[in-house]
């Protein structure tokens, strides 16, 4: 009878346990994931790009509710992405330290 492959970890605690106990990831893979989390912190720069692209439109047509909604969504997404990136970078850094000990 064939063994079913193990499912991917669903929680951070389960992933952490599998990395430390079962060598689920090697250190280079964890560093790659930490770098991807760090890149998420660049999202607030989207705000500057969005404002630069919207200013000519606002000057020509005036401010409308659609532009306001668009700016609100971009702001929310940028802040959420930044916070998520900070959290995951911190988690991967701690896990790399534990793994290298």
Of the pLDDT bands very low, low, confident and very high (cuts 50, 70, 90), residue 86 is very high
- Tens-place pLDDT, residues 48-64: 888 888 888 888 888 88
pTM of the model: 0.74
> b/e per residue, 28-50, with b = 16+ CB within 10 A?
eebeebbeebeebbebeeeeeeb
Angle, helix 45-61 to helix 65-100, in steps of 10 degrees: 170
- Tens-place pLDDT, residues 1-15: 565 567 888 999 999
Q: Can you list the positions of beta strands (E) in the chain?
A: none
Is residue 47 predicted with pLDDT exceeding 90?
no
């Amino acid at each position: 009878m064939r063994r079913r492959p193990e499912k991917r970890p669903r929680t951070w605690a389960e992933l952490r346990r599998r990395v430390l106990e079962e060598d689920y990831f090697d250190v280079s893979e964890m560093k790659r994931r930490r770098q991807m989390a760090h890149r998420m912190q660049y999202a607030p720069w989207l705000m500057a790009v969005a404002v630069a692209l919207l200013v000519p439109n606002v000057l020509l047509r005036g401010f409308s509710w659609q532009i306001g909604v668009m700016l609100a969504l971009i702001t929310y997404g940028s802040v959420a992405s930044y916070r998520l990136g900070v959290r995951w970078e911190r988690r991967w850094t701690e896990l790399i330290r534990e793994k290298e000990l």
